[in-house]
Amino acid sequence: MERTTVLITGCSSGIGLGLAARLAADSTRRFKVYATMRDLAKGERLLEHLGSHCPDTLEVLQLDVTDPHSLAAAVQRVQEQRLDVLVCNAGVGLMGPLETCSDQAMKTLFDVNFFGAVRTIQAFLPAMKRRRAGRIIVSSSIGGLQGLPFNAVYCASKFAVEGLCESLAIVLRPFNIHVTLVECGPVHTSFLANLQCPDPEGSELEGLDAETRGLYRRYLRHCQSLFRDAAQEVEDVLPVFLEAIVSLCPPLRCASTQLLAPLWRLRLGSPDGSAYVRAMHDFVFGGSEVSGDQP
């Protein structure tokens, strides 16, 4: 049986690691997986995930989506194979009041989340178009569908990814190339631990007004309870990616959770946006118009 060749970015942890391990360990051996990551030293986690053996269904490659030379090297390595599925999963986060987000932090986030996806697709798309076949699966977020408080820059990057993929899907239809966005909610990964997130009591917020600082404290408490009560495990999210890989006609969008679906429907049903803004404020901050915590 001919194997489906899959290349995944961002495999050092979380969803990328879990998906690479799941595909490489598939009992039917129907996948050949190129698991890529910026730092190859972290590849040990993937091998540990698979146990004591390293199957011939897996190859770990260095790939930094912010480095064109690294991308070119990965393309060179894979070009002897027919790449059937490209999974753009590499991503970073940035949380906090907008006033505290530095230019450099915002540029870095966009360089990975948006331009990294663009570069990766650009690198592998020509070969897919020549074969008139392929799948591009992109890790998105519920933050790519709706604005989330204190995640303005992260949401902006994911909104950009959503627009990129929706536009691309229209053009790639005649080429038999399917584009799928997987919109995830809170997932128990190292993403949150690695998130750039200022301490509400730290010096980074020194010049911030008291009302915004209070809202930020409340938001962080909201996040803690959300992750405690509603976050998914990586294993719960993987079936959505697997379905996009094997489905005869995968959708443009699929969600791994229905956590904020009522708010998303409200956003669609209220074109001027005001009902959504009120509802999201109430959901996060408890429905009070009062500033909340004071320093």
Domain ranges of the chain: 4-286
pLDDT digits (tens, 9 = 90+) for 239-278: 999 999 999 999 999 999 888 888 989 988 988 999 999 9
Q: Which pLDDT score, from 0 to 100, does residue 258 have?
A: 87
CA dihedral 260, 261, 266, 272 (to 10 degrees): 70
Residues 6+ apart with CB under 8 A from 61: 34, 35, 36, 74, 77, 78
- pTM, rounded to two decimals: 0.92
Question: Which helix (H) or strand (E) is 47 found in, with range?
Answer: helix 43-49
pLDDT digits (tens, 9 = 90+) for 27-50: 889 999 999 999 888 877 777 777
* For residue 178, pLDDT beyond 90: yes
Q: Is residue 158 a known part of a binding site? A: yes
pLDDT band at 291 (very low <50, low <70, confident <90, very high): very low
Q: Cα–Cα distance between 168 and 15 in angstroms, integer?
A: 24
Q: Is residue 209 a known part of a binding site? A: no
Phi then psi for residue 76, to 5 deg, are: -60, -40
- Contact between 128 and 177 under an 8 Å Cβ cutoff? The reply is yes
Q: Is residue 13 a known part of a binding site? A: yes
Q: Which residues are catalytic?
A: 154
pLDDT band at 295 (very low <50, low <70, confident <90, very high): very low
Q: Is residue 11 a known part of a binding site? A: yes
Q: Which pLDDT score, from 0 to 100, does residue 287 have?
A: 63
Q: Which pLDDT score, from 0 to 100, does residue 195 have?
A: 73
Q: Is residue 36 a known part of a binding site? A: yes
Q: Is residue 107 a known part of a binding site? A: no
Angle at 208 between CA 205 and CA 209, to 5 degrees: 145
CATH for 4-286? 3.40.50.720
